């Protein structure tokens, strides 16, 4: 009863703490994958006590149970280039809160010099899991009062939401004392500590503890650690605040073997409520995996786990399709492993309303989406993503922040569109965007920016005769026949105006309303193929599973638009779990009659169960688009 009461108190305190942090901390840019994007796992480990084996190795898995070593089980980083001792052990890897960065910390040590020979650890940071920057932190040299320090072991990192900082924790032994788990907060660039290490956890029995591994579950911090000299196993302590010094030590041991173990690591299975506790059964030269739903009771699942290598003390994190592709592109696909990855979505994270461009200047493809995942379409910044192959997309970062760059409209950053235009001898880029239900324009010399907003709205009026709807969803089109550029926009109506040669102003008296059919809602897009102008638009509401794309054709960029009875381009596919397919753009591969539709949909597989929230937690997809001999668009089947 006491244990249950304390657990309930922890949960209540953690909930209050998280609410406080959410309300007081500033909102930052979102990057990287969401849980929906995770398609596998990265296992980082070292191999043994020989100097050549005291190095960082990687392995991957697509199911969390079957792992294959990358780089033929050889190190992915040369220990001599990063360590002060010539060897590294106990690698711990963590995805940063920004979604796109990774932190790795390792013991700077080679056992050939003795178990009490090391005084340092290494802090490492990467934006791609491939290239790493590193800093050696020698506790004895960098901080006073550690003259009798004997060893610094098994560092790990966790994000502390109460501080908004990353805590590095590790065990140290001084003189003949016990091994105690210490901590220090890392500085902003993860190259050092803000202050000298302090005690994080010391068991009540005063015995040694090493190999701490902390996981945050529902606001509670679960610390798995190895006891030394008092049973020699893995125990658990729980707290609701890393800084409190108040830990609830759980009775008993968590390993499910009588053999000696160390180096525990816990990770959550993708799209599951199950956790895996793994540990190094170092006397037997093997790893053991255990499964749990509550981080308290564990069962062995060794019969379900397979590896083609023998790891020592490592950690596992989930990775996305993009990250798996990048890892295998760098170190090769492990022999005997087939990497079956979904094609869609093409961007990790929540994005919508994609506009696509091929840049003649950089010879790359770009997608310009709405930054999604904000309640009520409350995003305030725009990003772009680049690719050379339409498969791997690089996050190029924020190109326009309404709060910083657009004083007349600092909210509701929606549905952008981009034009590449040759002005003089060079290409320029003109970016049209929605802000506060008005349309603005920004320009740049490169497709990635920096973009400079014009300083005033381009469209903040309703065309003559229009009383309802919104001034949103711009689409820009340059007529290959005349060279003239046009801007289209509208929700509830479709308007068009010719752009002046400066591309940042509308030509007077050219605004008109175009008629489509009664299905038009928003999201117009125009392209040209073999003498025909195609007009595409979205029907229904983006929160509806029936959101879909229709089209009409014309002999002019100014209409009139002709629609046929069977003019659906793409719609939901319930059998595949795909819903809400709409707001698209179109890409033609340069010099080819090869076409793609780029669109958004409800995030898969959870979006259909999110209610209205599915309409602002969307993801960007791409599928091939074909035409029949008469030039009609053949309905596109959305794919995974």
Alpha carbon 189 to its chain centroid, in Å, reads: 19
Q: Catalytic pick from 160, 211, 280, 353?
A: 353
Are 600 and 353 in contact by the 8 Å Cβ rule? The answer is yes
Are 581 and 336 in contact by the 8 Å Cβ rule? The answer is no
Are 601 and 544 in contact by the 8 Å Cβ rule? The answer is no
As given in the structure block, the two tokens for residue 406 are 């657009």
Q: Is 296 a catalytic residue?
A: no
381-387/299-300 β-pairing = unpaired
Dihedral Cα 64, 65, 68, 73, nearest 10 deg: 90
C-alpha span between 629 and 195 (Å, rounded): 71
| DSSP code at position 376 | G
CA distances for 138 relative to 106, 152, 177, 527, angstroms = 12, 9, 20, 61
- C-alpha radius of gyration, the chain, whole number: 28
C-alpha span between 367 and 417 (Å, rounded): 9
Of 82, 80, 106, 83, the closest CA to residue 93 belongs to 106
Are 298 and 276 in contact by the 8 Å Cβ rule? The answer is no
b/e code 81-91 from CB counts within 10 Å (16+ = b)? ebbbbebbbbb
CA distances for 258 relative to 59, 225, 261, 299, 636, angstroms = 27, 16, 9, 14, 58
C-alpha span between 486 and 102 (Å, rounded): 43
C-alpha span between 70 and 563 (Å, rounded): 54
C-alpha span between 391 and 405 (Å, rounded): 31
As given in the structure block, the two tokens for residue 28 are 């930052």
Are 108 and 121 in contact by the 8 Å Cβ rule? The answer is yes
Of 383, 417, 589, the closest CA to residue 499 belongs to 417
Sequence-distant (6+) residues with CB within 8 A of 231 are 253
**DSSP symbols for 494-530:** EEEEEBPTTSSSBPTT--EEEP--TT--EEEEEEEET
| DSSP code at position 465 | T
As given in the structure block, the two tokens for residue 504 are 């940042």
Q: Catalytic pick from 405, 522, 539, 545?
A: 522
> Would you tell me how many other CB atoms lie within 10 Å of the CB of residue 80?
12
C-alpha span between 470 and 227 (Å, rounded): 64
| DSSP code at position 635 | P
Are 46 and 89 in contact by the 8 Å Cβ rule? The answer is yes
The residue written with tokens 């650890």 in the block is 121
Helix (H, G, I), strand (E, B) or coil at 500: coil
Sequence-distant (6+) residues with CB within 8 A of 546 are 539, 540, 571, 572, 580
Q: Is 194 a catalytic residue?
A: no
Beta strands in 202-251 (DSSP E): 208-217, 220-228, 234-239, 248-249
C-alpha span between 487 and 323 (Å, rounded): 37
H or E element at residue 95: strand 88-95
- Residues serving a catalytic function are 353, 522
């Amino acid at each position: 009863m006491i244990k249950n009461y304390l657990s309930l108190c922890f949960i209540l305190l953690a909930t209050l703490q998280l609410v406080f942090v959410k309300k007081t901390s500033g909102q930052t840019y979102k990057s990287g994958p969401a849980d929906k994007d995770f398609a596998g796992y990265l296992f980082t480990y070292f191999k043994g006590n020989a100097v050549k084996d005291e190095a960082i190795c990687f392995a991957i898995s697509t199911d969390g149970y079957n792992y294959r070593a990358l780089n033929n089980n050889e190190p992915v980083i040369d220990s001599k280039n990063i360590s002060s001792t010539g060897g590294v052990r106990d690698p711990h890897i963590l995805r940063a809160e920004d979604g796109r960065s990774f932190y790795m910390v390792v013991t700077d040590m080679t056992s050939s010099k003795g178990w009490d020979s090391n005084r340092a650890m290494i802090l490492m940071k990467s934006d791609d899991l491939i290239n790493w920057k590193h800093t050696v932190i020698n506790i004895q040299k960098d901080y006073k009062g550690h003259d009798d320090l004997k060893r610094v072991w098994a560092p790990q990192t966790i994000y502390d939401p109460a501080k908004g900082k990353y805590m590095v924790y590790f065990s140290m032994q001084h003189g003949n004392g016990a091994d105690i788990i210490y901590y220090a907060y890392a500085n902003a660039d993860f190259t050092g500590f803000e202050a000298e290490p302090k005690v994080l956890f010391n068991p009540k029995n005063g015995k040694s503890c090493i190999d701490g591994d902390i996981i945050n579950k529902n606001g509670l911090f679960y610390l798995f650690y190895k006891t030394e000299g008092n049973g020699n196993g893995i125990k658990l302590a729980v707290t609701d605040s890393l800084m409190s010094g108040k830990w609830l030590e759980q009775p008993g041991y968590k390993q499910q073997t009588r053999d000696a173990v160390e180096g525990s690591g816990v990770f959550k299975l993708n799209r599951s409520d199950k956790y895996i506790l793994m540990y190094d059964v170092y006397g037997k030269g093997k790893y053991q995996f255990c499964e749990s739903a509550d981080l308290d009771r564990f069962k062995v699942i060794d019969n379900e786990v397979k590896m083609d290598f023998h790891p020592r003390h490592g950690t596992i994190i989930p990775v996305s399709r993009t990250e798996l592709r990048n890892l295998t592109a760098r170190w090769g696909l492990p022999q005997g492993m087939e990497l079956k990855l979904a094609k869609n979505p093409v961007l990790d994270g929540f994005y919508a309303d994609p506009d696509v461009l091929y840049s003649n200047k950089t010879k790359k493809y770009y997608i310009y989406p709405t930054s999604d995942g904000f309640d009520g379409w409350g995003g305030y910044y725009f990003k772009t993503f680049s690719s050379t192959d339409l498969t791997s997309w690089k996050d190029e970062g924020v190109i326009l922040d309404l709060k910083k760059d657009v004083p007349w409209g600092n909210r509701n950053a929606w549905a952008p569109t981009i034009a590449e235009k040759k002005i003089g001898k060079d290409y320029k880029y003109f970016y049209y965007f929605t802000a506060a239900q008005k349309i603005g324009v920004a320009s740049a010399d490169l497709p990635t920016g920096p973009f400079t907003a014009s300083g005033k709205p381009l469209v903040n009026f309703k065309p003559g005769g229009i009383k309802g709807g919104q001034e949103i969803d711009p689409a820009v089109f340059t007529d290959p026949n005349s060279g003239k550029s046009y801007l289209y926009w509208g929700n509830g109506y479709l308007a068009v105006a010719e752009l002046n040669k400066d591309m940042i102003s509308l030509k007077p008296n050219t605004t008109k309303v175009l008629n489509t059919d009664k299905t038009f809602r928003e999201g117009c897009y125009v392209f040209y193929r073999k003498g025909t102008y195609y007009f595409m638009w979205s029907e229904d509401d983006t929160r509806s599973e029936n959101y879909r794309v229709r089209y009409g054709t014309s002999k002019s960029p100014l209409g009139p638009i002709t629609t046929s009875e069977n003019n659906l381009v793409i719609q939901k596919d319930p059998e595949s779990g795909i819903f809400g397919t709409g707001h698209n753009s179109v890409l033609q591969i340069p010099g080819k009659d090869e076409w793609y539709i780029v669109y958004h949909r409800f995030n898969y597989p959870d979006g259909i169960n999110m209610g209205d929230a599915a309409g602002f937690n969307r993801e960007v997809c791409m599928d091939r688009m074909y035409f029949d001999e008469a030039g009609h668009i053949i309905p596109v089947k959305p794919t995974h």
